[in-house]
Amino acid sequence: MATYWLVPLEWDGETAVFSEERFALAPADKRDRFVRALQAVHPRLLLAFKAHLLVADEALDACGTDDLPFALGSAGPIVLRSLEASTATDEEPSAGWPLSHCAEAYLSGLPSPGEAARLLSLADLEPGTEEWAAALRAWLLRGDRIIMLREDGVDR
């Protein structure tokens, strides 16, 4: 099974900080209605990205890693740095794990917080999703970007 996470994100073009305020979007039918309503306004407003593609693995000749070095359900922020900015190892998670080129390109293409807030205001959200929309608004107002991460192999 997969778990989908709604995650506020600080992104400066080199360092990504996934906030500890992230939460799982469940149940699936409610998540699907929420995502459809947002994507009806703009297809990239809340597009899923596979969590295992976030981290660069120099041993692989592709984006991502076979084993994610962190769990999205764990407490605390998750820090990833572009390969150029990364000097950390897997043993130094506070310094950040290396961000894959695929993830870097994806994050750079996310709508700005202002644009995402404008688009969110246009969405026709269904009843029952108000708390998720309120979290999005609060995160966007403080200047965070928003990402939906898909974590495979986790059932919540």
Looking at beta carbons, which pairs linking 105-111 to residues 24 or more positions away fall under 8 Å? Answer: 106/49, 107/9, 107/11, 107/16, 107/145, 107/147, 108/11, 108/13, 109/44, 110/9, 110/11, 110/44, 110/145, 110/146, 110/147, 111/42, 111/44, 111/45, 111/145
- Residue-wise pLDDT for 3-33, tens only, equals 999 999 999 999 999 999 999 999 999 999 9
Model pTM above 0.75 = yes
The string of pLDDT tens digits covering residues 93-151 is: 457 899 999 999 999 999 999 999 999 999 999 999 999 999 999 999 999 999 999 99
Identify whether the C-beta of residue 62 lies closer than 8 Å to the C-beta of residue 145: no
